[in-house]
Chain A
Amino acid sequence: MELTGSQILLKSLALEGVDTVFGYPGGAVINIYDDLYDSSINHVLTRHEQAAVHAADGYARCTGKVGVAIATSGPGATNTVTGIATAYMDSIPMVIVTGQVPTPLIGNDAFQEADMCGITRPCTKHNFLVKDIRDLARTIKEAFYIARTGRPGPVLVDLPKDIQINTHKFSYPETVSLRGYKPTYSGNSRQIEKAAKMILASRKPVLYVGGGITLSGADDALLKLAEQTQIPVTTTLMAMAAFPQRHPLALGMLGMHGTFFANMSVTECDLLIAVGSRFDDRVTGRIDSFAEKAKIIHIDIDPTSIGKNVAVDLPIVGDLKDVLGKLHGCLNQKPELVEDLVEETEDWRSIVVEWKERQPMTYRSSKSVIKPQYVIEKISEIADENAIITTEVGQHQMWAAQFFAFRQPRTFLTSGGLGTMGFGLPSALGAQVAYPDRQVIDISGDASFQMNSQELATLVQYKLPVKIVILNNNYLGMVRQWQQMFFEKRYSQTVMELPIDFIKLAEAYGATGLQATKVEDVEATIKKAFETPGPVLMNFKVSREENVLPMVPAGKAIHEMVLAS
């Protein structure tokens, strides 16, 4: 039987296990939407295409599945770009389908034409323009395969309108063969043995773990290895939920706003085991003094990550689950040596504990004004074990990373690489669609919230009970902090001159709005929000000029921190 292109698309999505897509219709995808009308695939209509992509991204981050978004050609498609770039920087598996003008019109500056393959080339793992309906099913198969394998990433499929309308016999390929794409999964055993030797010879080892750990599903393998060897673990922003932050071996986040003890541990260690992390500049500070005294083992599935920013002593290319598993096994065969290691590194761990006691992650508390850190601590206390936290970008994001005690993988969704304000609300929306029964909390700033606040409508329409926490300082707080520290408090364009009535805003969309202005109201407000069905926005008026500390000023080494007191 012949199917139309849009039917082939939807059938292919279903065969890829897609049950939910996020999107926004328009002329160039109207045929797809006509077929969606009676399809079993659930479509969530966001209020902006950027939000559709972030929602699919949030869905992907918390489930591990490929997120799918649909947008029309031209402005719909260009609206997706920030979302795609956000996913690309954090290696999130996604497939974005954009409508395109009919093939005979491509290149003619047709109505609502934009060269999406050109625009997204540098921010997708790969992209496709489907020019022949005979290629459509295979293209979808390849798009999903590329998105979810190797180092994951977003893949864009640009689908001209005539291809959606044309018909062709549908047969979905069972396998993919791409001559130029063969990720390495299995770590080289000899390299892994060398790594085991280096670990056993180390006296001050540290595990430096990034977002790759969750992408690979290697969180358990990491915990096993850390406990076996008793090596302290510092996590990047992307990996805060990948290791239980209350674990005695947890050092918290490292880098620009890392903990004193994480940054000191990395500075003083003699072996740095980088796992699914990429030596980002926000992590390393001044690169030539980063882990200066250490030998470096770098384990990653993407060879380009290795040796890009720092020279490493032992590279291992492979899937982290495979490599960490083998490393654990390798060490298991030498129980006495591991025992020696644990004994010999006793001193190191006590130095780390000393650092922790000398400079714990802290802030000056207050009885008169709500401290943003206090709100995060309270949420951490009150929220369910498996609550999913999303954030926008700014000070509130860093406080969430610093003061929320993450306990389960895939519960912290934040834009790490691109740092996209406006990510938190739509990604929370996507997470809540994936897990209707779990608590999903967007920790937001007053400014970031306004970048995608229209998604309140989507939450209300689909009865998605996302809880929104606005740490309202009436500032572009993070930028203000830099202006305070490095520009003599010249607060150029960072004061939100117009205070928004967020409660009315929430109510206008049919959501609930709550507000707390006093310290003693914080806890009750959070509890009330969690008990209230449907989406709830909490507006916390927090101390306005609070700073995120510790902080490593740009260009400094990570041990040269400005500390909390």
Chain B
Amino acid sequence: MKHTISVLVENEFGVLARISGLFSGRGFNIESLSVAPTMDAELSRMTLVTRGDDQILEQITKQLNKLISTIKVVDFTDSEYIERELAMIKVSTDSESRAEALRIVDIFRAKVIDVTPKSYTIEITGAPAKINGILELLRPMGIKEVVRSGPVVIGRGTKGVVG
């Protein structure tokens, strides 16, 4: 089963290697990983998506917690959360398909952020499923490149995971 885990870590040299090394060394799977600073300059947040049964997920969270550089580990899967991913999609267009492309952009509330005579570059944010959806519709036109950020998540409600 898919799990999205948020990890607060010390913002110091080598931390990313510690986390990714943990996953590769123990054979855990990692589908996406994003890293960014937090409000606290000493901390970074990593959001990672992984898969595994309950026993593997228990090991993953325990092993993450065991790292000295890890401050907090939250597995969002069992709680209410909002998940968002950003994608930029470069799609081939010709005079015939341009209108169709714009219609799809409109339906998905995406944006065209770069235009050439032969292509549109589209920006879209949303849950990963939504991004998969627009890709499905754009595919027949010819997708030249897709850049996805990997999802980030935040819990619903007033409580925040400090950092």
Binding site for B on A (CB under 8 A): 117-118, 121-122, 125-126, 129, 131, 146, 178-181, 302-304, 307-308, 311
Q: With A129-B14, A180-B68, A304-B66 given, name 13 new contacts (CB 8 A).
A: A121-B18, A122-B21, A178-B68, A179-B71, A180-B9, A180-B10, A181-B68, A302-B66, A303-B62, A303-B66, A304-B59, A304-B63, A307-B55
Nearest CB in chain B: distance from A116 CB, A = 11
CB of B38 within 8 Å of the partner chain? no
* Chain A to chain B contacts (Cβ below 8 Å), 15 pairs: A118-B17, A121-B18, A121-B21, A122-B25, A125-B68, A146-B68, A179-B71, A180-B67, A180-B70, A302-B66, A303-B65, A303-B66, A304-B63, A307-B58, A308-B59
Question: Complex: how many Å from CA A369 to CA B119?
Answer: 86
Among B62-116, those with CB < 8 Å from A are 62-63, 65-71
Cα A378 to Cα B156 with chains together (Å): 70
Q: Which A residues are CB-close (under 8 A) to B65?
A: 303
- Which residues of B have CB within 8 Å of A126? 68
A304-B62 in contact given A180-B70, A181-B68 (Cβ < 8 Å): yes
Give Cα A117 to B18, complex, Å.
10
Secondary structure of the B side of the interface? helix
B71 touches which of A125, A180, A311 (Cβ 8 Å): A180
Chain B residues with CB under 8 Å of chain A are: 9-10, 13-14, 17-18, 21, 25, 55, 58-59, 62-63, 65-71
Chain B positions within 8 Å of A181 at CB level: 68
Chain B residues, CB < 8 A from A311: 55
Contact with A121, one of B17, B66, B71 (Cβ below 8 angstroms): B17
Decide: A117 and B55 in contact? CB cutoff 8 A.
Answer: no
List chain A residues, Cβ under 8 A from B66. 302-304
B65 CB to nearest chain A CB (Å): 7
Which single member of B9, B14, B59, B71 contacts A117 (CB below 8 Å)?
A: B14
Give every chain B residue within 8 A of A180 (Cβ-Cβ): 9-10, 67-71
Question: What is the chain A residue whose CB lies nearest that of B69?
Answer: A180
Closest to B65 in A: A303
Nearest CB on A from B39, distance (A): 15
Complex Cα distance, B66 from A125, in Å, reads 9
Q: In the assembled complex, which residues on chain B have CB atoms less than 8 Å from the CB atom of A178?
A: 68
Distance from A27 Cβ to chain B, minimum over Cβ atoms (Å): 24
Closest chain B residue to A122, Cβ basis? B25
Closest to A123 in B: B25
The distance from the CB of A140 to the nearest CB of chain B, in whole angstroms, is 15
Note all chain A residues with C-beta closer than 8 A to B68: 125-126, 146, 178, 180-181
Query: B17's closest neighbor in chain A, by CB?
Result: A121
Q: Which residue of B lies closest to A306 (CB)?
A: B62
Contacts known (A303-B66, A307-B58); A179 close to B21, Cβ less than 8 A: no
A117 and B17 CA atoms in complex are apart in Å by: 10
Q: Which residue of B lies closest to A304 (CB)?
A: B62
In the bound complex, what is the Cα–Cα distance between A125 and B69 (angstroms)? Answer: 11
**Whole-angstrom distance between the alpha carbons of A178 and B21 in the complex?**
21
